[in-house]
Amino acid sequence: MKIYLKRVGILFFLITMLSANIYSVEITWLLSQTWKVKDSGFIEEFNKAYPDIEVKLEQFPINGVYEQIQVRVGTCQRDPDVIIVNAPFTASYGLKGWLIPLDDVFNKQEKDNFYKASLDIGTYQGKFLSSPIHTSTQNIYYNATIFKDAGLTPPGPDDRLTWEEVRDLAVKLTKDKNGDGAVDIWGFNWEQTTQYYQLQPLFLSKGGKSIGNDGLTVDGIVNSEEWISGMQFYGDMFNKYKASPVTTVRVWEMFRTGQLAMMLAGPWNVGRLSAKDYGFEWGISRHPYFKGGKIVTPTSGWHLGVSACSDQQEASKKFVHWMTTEAGGKAWFSKVRTALSAQVPVNQWILDNEKYQKKPWNNVRTAIDEAGVNPVPRPSMVGYYEYQQTLENAFSDIRSGVSAEKALNASINRLNSELSKYK
- Which residues form the interface with another protein (CB under 8 A)? 66-67, 70-71, 74, 95-97, 181-183, 245-249, 308, 382, 385-386, 389, 393, 396-397, 399-402, 406-407, 410, 413-414, 417-418, 420-422
Q: Which helix (H) or strand (E) holds 298?
A: strand 297-298
SS3 of 205-216: HCCCCCCCCCCC
Q: Measured in whole angstroms, how far is the alpha carbon of residue 163 from the centre of its chain? A: 23
| Closest CB to another protein among residues 140, 407 | 407
- Listed residue (102, 32, 101, 29) closest to 66, CA to CA: 32
For the bound state, the minimum distance from the C-beta of residue 193 to another protein, rounded and expressed in Å, comes to 12
| Closest CB to another protein among residues 123, 205 | 123
Instruction: Sort strands 82-86 and 25-32 into parallel, antiparallel or unpaired.
Output: parallel
Q: What is the phi-psi region of residue 207: left when phi exceeds 0, alpha when psi lies from -120 to 50, beta otherwise?
A: left
* Coil, helix or strand at residue 29: strand
For the bound state, the minimum distance from the C-beta of residue 34 to another protein, rounded and expressed in Å, comes to 17
| Closest CB to another protein among residues 362, 389 | 389
For the bound state, the minimum distance from the C-beta of residue 250 to another protein, rounded and expressed in Å, comes to 11
| Closest CB to another protein among residues 53, 415 | 415
Distance between CA atoms of 304 and 90, rounded to whole angstroms? 10
For the bound state, the minimum distance from the C-beta of residue 319 to another protein, rounded and expressed in Å, comes to 22
For the bound state, the minimum distance from the C-beta of residue 97 to another protein, rounded and expressed in Å, comes to 4
Distance between CA atoms of 263 and 414, rounded to whole angstroms? 31
| Closest CB to another protein among residues 65, 371 | 65
* Coil, helix or strand at residue 323: helix
CA angle, 77 as apex, 71 and 81 as ends, to 5°? 100
For the bound state, the minimum distance from the C-beta of residue 399 to another protein, rounded and expressed in Å, comes to 8
| Closest CB to another protein among residues 173, 336 | 173
Cβ–Cβ < 8 Å for 339, 268: yes
